[in-house]
Amino acid sequence: MSDYMFMLESHLSADQNRVLDQVQTAATSAGVNLFLTGGGMRDMLGGFRIRDLDFSVEGPALKVAKTLEQQGARILSQDENRRSAELIFPNGVTAQIGMSRKERFAKTGAKPQITPAPIQEDLRGRDFTVNAIALSLNRASRGLLLDPTNGLADLGHRELRSTNPYVFFDDPARMLRLLRLRLRLSFAIEERTRQQYENARVAQLENLIPPPVLFEELKHISEEPAPPEVVQLLEQEHLLALFSPALTGAALNMPGLTRLEKAEKTVESAGIVVAPKLPAFLLALTAKLSAKDKAALIRAVELPKSEIDLMRALEPRAHKLEQALKAPRVKKPSHVYQLLVDAAPDEMVYLLANSAQRTVQDRIRNFLQKYLPAMQEVPAAEWQALEGEPGTAKYARTRQAFVAAHLDVRPRKTPEPEPEPEAAPAPVEAVARVRGR
């Protein structure tokens, strides 16, 4: 095993390693060359947590994605032009699989013309050098590092450097990506890249970013580790108006975005994957906008109807859970556990960020920090021994009694030991005699 393969497998979680093996097997079956690229490589080599796996395929990438879908993965989105797909696997791991390609832009902000290309050419056409590194996952060259733009050195210098002088003129959305990466990685922007950014701003190229790309950018912001900081930076750079000119001053709901970030971290600290994040983010971002301004934002980014429906359904769903959690019949830890163990993570996040009911918030936190960890410590054999088939009424009753036996029984108090009798004081005469010596 090469040093880079060892580094990769050491950085990945157990679930991510399983997905890595699954994708490699699918690519081998399809007879195509596979590479780990993009953010996954950047984060591994830079010592950051690997958020997503990015794969490039020299060949029909969507064929590999379809094979993975047949094996249980779900395709979240698909770009027919770039021949790429975003997938989520049953264990919660997300991955991007795209065709190794060359992109030609007829004009700034235009839809690129895509042609298949070798991986080296694909890397040279990317945005920043730290995103233009690949690791071969093929049998003959497994573990070989490909770095045609010297991104490894820029990772060492903690710098963001463009791969070519036309990065922002080809795709102005890269200006937004530059700011997000600068904030997330705490990297400096290399001087020539900073000048390219400033030139693009002077030319007002940001106004040429297509609405669907603005939508994708909102989605990326919602998935950042600190969305409020990204929003604040975009406002400082006068770029937040691309989404809505009304997002400024008191209408910019920074307190709500901060509460949402804190709530997501609370839920994720229990090992629960929060997805999707965009609906709750959009509700918080637009909370102080008028109905007219909200509608204008939706038009500005051409928000898909499916996303509008998710956003509008979140609050009623969360309210239903809120009503259940504060019902008089909910008195014991097992009651709270039964309500929340199958609840949607985004509903818990929404209530932690927005519910005015202290009882509801306390019960969600107790579930995440006490009840869930306690039940996760129960050996799997005990769960498997429950009577009845999952989904039946008998199983539900057995499961409820099982949970109650673990969560509702108060621990017996250990009796405090009786204090030992104090030693009797020495007679005064004896003390006096000792002192007189």
pLDDT digits (tens, 9 = 90+) for 95-129: 999 999 998 988 887 788 899 999 999 999 999 99
Contact 265, 345 (CB under 8 A): no
Contact 27, 57 (CB under 8 A): yes
Identify the pLDDT of residue 112: 86
Contact 185, 157 (CB under 8 A): no
Query: Residue 189 to residues 160, 163, 218, 341, 366: CA-CA distances in angstroms?
Result: 5, 13, 22, 44, 43
Query: Tokens in use for 232?
Result: 């604040």
CA distance 432 to 427: 9
Identify the pLDDT of residue 387: 80
Identify the pLDDT of residue 69: 94
Contact 35, 100 (CB under 8 A): yes
Contact 206, 172 (CB under 8 A): yes
Identify the pLDDT of residue 76: 87
Half-sphere exposure of 236 (CA within 13 A, CB side): 7
Per CATH, the architecture of 1-153 is what? Answer: 2-Layer Sandwich (3.30)
* Range list for CATH 3.30.460.10 in the chain: 1-153
Identify the pLDDT of residue 389: 83
Q: What is the DSSP string of 178-236?
A: HHHHHHHHTPEEPHHHHHHHHHHHHTTGGGGS-HHHHHHHHHHHHTSS-HHHHHHHHHH
Listed as ranges, residues in the chain with pLDDT below 50 are 426-437
Identify the pLDDT of residue 432: 37
Q: What is the pTM of this model?
A: 0.87
pLDDT digits (tens, 9 = 90+) for 320-369: 999 999 999 999 999 999 999 999 999 999 999 999 999 999 999 999 99
Strand 94-99 relative to strand 53-58: parallel, antiparallel, unpaired? Answer: parallel
Give all strands (DSSP E) within 46-191, no chain letters.
53-58, 74-79, 84-88, 94-99, 101-104, 113-116, 134-136, 145-146, 159-160, 188-189
pLDDT digits (tens, 9 = 90+) for 415-428: 556 555 555 554 44
